[in-house]
Amino acid sequence: MLTMALVLLLAPVKEAGSQRLDLSSFIIDTYGDKLMARFSIEIENFEKIKTALDNGSKVALLCDVSLLRNRALIWDVTLAGTEIEVGLEKDLLSGDYKILFPHQTISLNNFEEIDFLDQFNEMKVELVPLEKLEPGQKYVVRIQVKLISKGVPKWIKRTLFFWSWDLARSIRYDMEFSL
């Protein structure tokens, strides 16, 4: 019985494995008096993610955006950071797909790749007021994105500690700039 439960829980995760996320149109911009990072997220094989959602898995897209002061001889200093978690799930009773953004929930009758691209196209993250930045100083904006499986019980994670619960390999992009 325990083995059957493990197989049922891991089947959607294994099936969705080896996905590849990609970042496109990564831009550092100003909006009013604030520094902003804008980017779009794309996925290589969307059907595997949709299959995992159809099988009842809950998925989260985690975006970690950081502003660092670039230093030559020692580690960079983090000036600001924001983590965004966007949940993806399917209500198996109604058949609706839900995208759970931090400040809103979007419900869709059908969830296709174009819907995924529309929702994660042109994401915006405010970093710091421009007055906190020094002219001539080098800075780095770092974006890390990963797609993980949510709702896996902790006892399974501890038992299978060697198993990766990421549905897509984590990606990281750095962009250096100065004012």
Say what the alpha-carbon torsion angle 116, 122, 128, 129 is, to the nearest 10 degrees.
Answer: -150
Split at pLDDT 50, 70, 90, the class of 142 is very high
Q: What is the pLDDT of residue 66?
A: 92
Residue 51: phi and psi, rounded to 5, are -65, -40
pTM > 0.85: no
Span 55-71, average pLDDT:
87
* Residue 4 banded pLDDT, cuts 50, 70, 90: very low
A 10 A CB-CB count for 127 gives 21
- Does residue 97 belong to any structural domain of this protein? no
Q: What is the CATH number of the domain that holds 136?
A: 2.60.40
pLDDT of residue 42: 84
Asked if residue 108 belongs to a domain, the reply is no
Q: What is the mean pLDDT of residues 164-173?
A: 71
Question: Is the model's pLDDT at 176 over the cut of 80?
Answer: yes
Q: Is 140 within the bounds of a domain?
A: yes
Report the pLDDT value the prediction gives residue 164, as an integer from 0 to 100: 54
Distance between the two ends of the chain, CA-based, in angstroms? 61
Beta strands 19-31 and 166-178 are parallel
pLDDT surpasses 50 at 16: no
> Cα–Cα distance between 148 and 165 in angstroms, integer?
6
Query: Residue 65 pLDDT > 60, yes or no?
Result: yes
Query: What is the three-class DSSP state of 26?
Result: strand
Dist. CA 161–CA 123, nearest whole Å: 32
In a domain, 105, yes or no: no
Decide: helix, strand or coil at residue 169. Answer: strand
Q: If you average pLDDT over every residue of the chain, what do you get?
A: 78
Work out the average pLDDT over 133-147. Answer: 89
Which domain covers residue 126, as residue numbers? Answer: 2-83+115-178
Q: How many domains does the chain divide into?
A: 1
- Name the residue with higher pLDDT: 61 or 45: 61
Buried b (16+ CB within 10 A) or exposed e, 58-68: bbbbebbbbbb
